[in-house]
Amino acid sequence: MESGQSIRGGGAESTTGIVHRSSVPRQPIWPTIDGPLGLSDEESLSYARRFFKFGFLLLPWLWAVNCFYFWPVLRHSPAFPRIRDYVVRSAIGFAVFTVLLGSWALTFAIGGERLFGPVWKQLVMYNVAEKFGLTGWY
Amino acid sequence: MAQNPKPTTILDSLGEEIIRIIAPVSTCMFMVVLLVTVLNTDSSPNITTIASIVYNETSSDSIWDKLKGALLNSLAFVAVITVTTFILVLLFYLRCTKFLKFYMGFSAFVVLGFMGGEIALILIRVFSFPIDCVTFVVILFNFAVVGVLAVFVPKMPILVTQGYMVVIGMLVAYWFTMLPEWTTWALLVALALYDLAAVLLPGGPLRLLVELAMTRDEEIPALVYEARPVNYHEVDPRTANVARTLWRGRNSGSGSGSVEISDSNSSPEVWLSDGGGGEGIETRVVVVGEGQNSEVLPELLAPLVNRELEGSGTRVDCGGEGNASMDGWAIEGIGLGSSGAIKLGLGDFIFYSVLVGRAAMYDFMTVYACYLAIIAGLGITLMLLAFYRKALPALPVSILLGVLFYFSTRLLLETFVVQCSVNLIMF
């Protein structure tokens, strides 16, 4: 089917001259969201890999940045096979971490004292800050 | 049937560039005003900082005492800043770039982690937000570390880097608004004057820094906000790096531009750069200011050719599309970064926001007046930049206009408006 379409496209270009395909100049697809200002293909691979590995240091936000940065890779998957692996794994990692952290935070916030008992008061941030005097300015 | 490039209007080119620098400045100011209105009550804490080592203002002192104290404070602060800037110039001269980069990463971490954390804690306490310490620490850690990466790593996503610059500016600005009132105003004026001197006088530290960076063709390590360039055509990916320096260099016919970047610990500067593009005239205005914490935004250096500076002894070599070797380019300043966009130093962000934040502590009327004054000042500075094509300080015009507007609003406009409202004439 694909070859058929491309032939048709080619035919359209050469014969009828209509169509969108002929009027759009071939644009290179960039792996990063910044387009031409971003990284080249080789650099992208090393960046994606490094971001993925660093994310394991309890940095899901870095995974999210990784996915955001290489969004075109997710959209045009076939073009960047190796980068895509890292980006997809980062996305999965971020999703898992967010679900875990989110559920814990929501349980904590919504459950409150009823669920946790007096421990809640010790865990909640504003009390911890008071205890350690963190909110005073120097 | 090739696609014809859309005719670009002045609004698309120049307007877009200006919007892309005014938007983050406005965002930073808006967030600081928000923080100030939410967090500051009458009992705002007085911090002891470099800016108030000489004199700590209390509300019971007489006006004369306050004035004297404020002037002394600001002089002390400016002196410290001058010394720090000279140290920076020295370090840069001795090529301690690694140390400077490390110092910048460290200061970004301190600002994001500690100051950001404290402000977040205050907000949590004010709103009694039921977050637990584990989640808070994880989120803060993530935020700070990715922020440091955004400053260190050469090619983070542009939006992320820009966002973090604005956040750092906002945090430092909020911290500065906690200075006593008279000290703040004296400090702003003193810094505006210092900036003027440091950039324009021959012996000024910032000028030295720019010249050093220019002769060496290196980037000044600093925290700068870089706006996204306005592109009219796709740059061919394979020759992207080369092409960027290329079309910067092709200033030949189009009245070329110069970009200078100068950044030092506390002087904002403005650079202008015009790049002649392959297909059209692309104007890149570069405004560079400087950050409180110098930090390297490790980006590709893209030297610009400046015909205007021919007289000052820099080599001018404007090659055609074919010969783009880095050596051939005359460096008149530190490149605009890889894409020739506008850069504004973080110091500008910070002090503009301090001014508006301080105005917010009085009333919203002064906020509007000061905001307009600052934006007008920024516009004037950009125009001057386009006119003079050399490093210009970005603080003086805006700050002086802002201070002028603040005092005239507070002393004159307010009485007028209040009286009119009270007598039901208008407003």
**Residue-range domain boundaries for chain A:** 7-131
Structure tokens that stand for B55 in this block = 């004199």
- Among the partner-chain residues A58, A65, A138, the one whose CB lies closest to the CB of B157 is A65
Query: In this predicted structure, what is the pLDDT of residue B268?
Result: 43
Q: How much is the average pLDDT of B60-87? A: 88
| pLDDT greater than 70 at residue A8 | no
CB B262 within 8 A of CB B288: yes
Query: In this predicted structure, what is the pLDDT of residue B294?
Result: 34
Q: What does the alpha-carbon distance between residue A106 and residue A126 come to, in Å, rounded to a whole number?
A: 17
Q: Which residue has the tokens 């301190």?
A: B110
Say if B325 is an interface residue toward chain A (CB within 8 Å). Answer: no
Q: Which helix (H) or strand (E) holds B9?
A: none
**HSE on the CB side for B185, CA within 13 Å?**
18
Find residue B226's DSSP bridge partners.
B343
- Tell which wins on pLDDT, B19 or B266: B19
Instruction: Please tell me the pTM assigned to this model.
Output: 0.75
What b-and-e string marks burial along A44-73, b requiring 16 or more CB atoms within 10 Å of the CB? bbebbeebbeebeeebbbbbbbbbbbbebb
> What is the percent of chain B where pLDDT is above 70?
67
pLDDT band of residue A103 (cuts 50, 70, 90) is very high
Pick among A39, A110, A137, A138 to test the B interface (most B CBs inside 10 A): A137
- Tell which wins on pLDDT, B143 or B274: B143
| pLDDT greater than 60 at residue B402 | yes
Query: In this predicted structure, what is the pLDDT of residue A22?
Result: 47
3-state helix, strand, coil in chain A (%, to 5): 75, 0, 25
B348 assigned to active site: yes
| pLDDT greater than 70 at residue B93 | yes
Say if B3 is an interface residue toward chain A (CB within 8 Å). Answer: yes
CA dihedral B178, B181, B182, B185 (to 10 degrees): 80
Query: In this predicted structure, what is the pLDDT of residue B51?
Result: 62
Say how many C-beta atoms besides its own lie within 10 A of residue B232's C-beta.
15
Cβ-based contacts of B234 with chain A (< 8 Å): 27-28, 35-36
- Tell which wins on pLDDT, B225 or B270: B225
Q: How much is the average pLDDT of A24-38? A: 73
- For the segment B94-129, what is each residue's pLDDT rounded down to a tens digit? 888 888 889 999 999 999 999 999 999 889 888 888
Per DSSP, the three-state class of B337 is coil
pLDDT band of residue B350 (cuts 50, 70, 90) is very high
Average pLDDT, chain B: 73
Binary contact (B125, A22; C-beta < 8 A): no
In sequence order, the 6+-apart residues with CB closer than 8 A to the CB of A54 are: A62
B317 assigned to active site: no
Say if B240 is an interface residue toward chain A (CB within 8 Å). Answer: yes
Q: What does the alpha-carbon distance between residue B288 and residue B271 come to, in Å, rounded to a whole number?
A: 6
**B8-14, long-range: CB < 8 A, 24+ apart:** B8/B232, B8/B280, B12/B230, B13/B230, B13/B281, B13/B282, B13/B283, B14/B283, B14/B285
Cβ-based contacts of B129 with chain A (< 8 Å): 125-126
Structure tokens that stand for B274 in this block = 């015009």
CB B275 within 8 A of CB B304: yes
Say if B1 is an interface residue toward chain A (CB within 8 Å). Answer: yes
Cβ-based contacts of A101 with chain B (< 8 Å): 135, 138
pLDDT band of residue B79 (cuts 50, 70, 90) is very high
> What is the percent of chain A where pLDDT is above 90?
18
Cβ-based contacts of B338 with chain A (< 8 Å): 37
- Among the partner-chain residues A47, A124, A130, the one whose CB lies closest to the CB of B132 is A124
Find residue B270's DSSP bridge partners.
B392
How many angstroms separate the CA of residue B145 from the nearest CA in chain A?
A: 8
**Residues B195, B217, B263, B274: which is the catalytic one?**
B195
- Tell which wins on pLDDT, B377 or A128: B377
Query: In this predicted structure, what is the pLDDT of residue A121?
Result: 82
Binary contact (A37, B142; C-beta < 8 A): no
Query: In this predicted structure, what is the pLDDT of residue B255?
Result: 32
> What is the percent of chain A where pLDDT is above 70?
78
Least confident of A123-127, B158-162, B182-186, B249-253: B249-253
Say if B156 is an interface residue toward chain A (CB within 8 Å). Answer: yes
| pLDDT greater than 50 at residue A119 | yes
| pLDDT greater than 80 at residue B406 | yes
Q: What does the alpha-carbon distance between residue A125 and residue B397 come to, in Å, rounded to a whole number?
A: 44
| pLDDT greater than 50 at residue A123 | yes
Most confident option among B46-60, B247-261, B374-388: B374-388
In sequence order, the 6+-apart residues with CB closer than 8 A to the CB of B104 are: B151, B221, B222, B223, B293, B294, B295, B296
| pLDDT greater than 90 at residue A15 | no
How many angstroms separate the CA of residue A48 from the nearest CA in chain B?
A: 11
